Structure 1
């Protein structure tokens, strides 16, 4: 019986030795992703434990997010530009024809500066807000501060015409 014990013990030791030799002959675990990325064999971890693909995916997501923010910003800029252009077109459509160029002066009053437009004649029968007013009736305009529109014209436009 003791011979059988030595046979079994020898078989177990032989199996353990063969496993140890196989372990020594096996190359260490390699990561194919890191090997492709670096161009050199990378050992120490396997593909399942590699952080490289996760980092690359995060970088792609960051780039995509930056690109989307740029696209959104450009869309907002185009929308704002289109709205400004449309507002200018609408203002130009409401302009009354100028029959006589007048003057623009600034007068100081107790409540601030007063912009006074005098001598301007607008053709009210030609514009979109045509009335039954007599053609070319002078309409004195006096405005406090800086009004944005006067019959479709802005103060800088009228000022440029007055001082041409």
Structure 2
């Protein structure tokens, strides 16, 4: 009977010793951020040394910066479009009335506009005198009219001749 008593006493002491050691043992380091993200307990590092939150924050910052660049580019495009519309409106508002249609031809890499007559005042105002216009070289606008518009009037419509190809390089 004493042997059994000693065996039981030894088992109780061993159990108590194991329980005491478990409580004394340092808990394994675990990362609450990685545990939350993965759904599993992640050990080996703590949240203080974890790279996950820093990487996530950098990704958010990169996305925000890209979004800000997109917003800035869109605003610049809208400003550019408004500027072009305003320039086109100004150009059309200051057009002189055409009194006589001339010719628009090319010679080498030059556009020659000859024989055109424009009123001396803008389109909506009657003029007593007119101005003859002739230009050689690369005119971009003539009295508010673009080279393409004058060329279309001279030909009676759109075409694909050398003037059209050369006029595309004016812009």
Does the residue aligned with 1:28 lie in a helix, a strand or coil? coil
**Of the candidates 143, 152, 164, which is equivalent to residue 135 of structure 2?**
143
Matched residue of 2:104: which SS? strand
Q: Name the residue aligned to 1:37.
A: 37
Equivalent residues of 1:107, 1:116 under 8 A apart: no
Return the TM-score normalized by structure 2: 0.69
C-alpha separation in 2, matches of 1:114 and 1:63: 50
Which stretches of structure 1, 4 residues or longer, exceed 4 Å deviation after superposition? 17-20
Q: 1:134 aligns with which of 113, 128, 143?
A: 128
Match of 2:151 in 1: 159
Secondary structure, counterpart of 2:74 in structure 1: helix
SS of the residue corresponding to residue 74 of structure 1 reads: helix
Report SS of the residue matched to 1:134: coil
CA contact (8 A) 2:94 2:122 kept: no
Which ranges in structure 2 are unaligned for 5 or more consecutive residues? Answer: 1-17, 158-171
Question: Residues 42 and 96 of structure 1: is their aligned pair in 2 closer, same or farther, counting only changes over 3 Å?
Answer: same
What is the aligned partner in structure 2 of residue 105 from structure 1?
105
In structure 1, stretches of 5+ residues that fail to align are 1-16
Count of residue pairs brought into register by the alignment: 139
CA RMSD of aligned residues (A): 2.7
| Cα gap change, 1:126 to 1:59, in 2 (>3 Å) | closer
What does residue 22 of structure 1 align with? Answer: 23
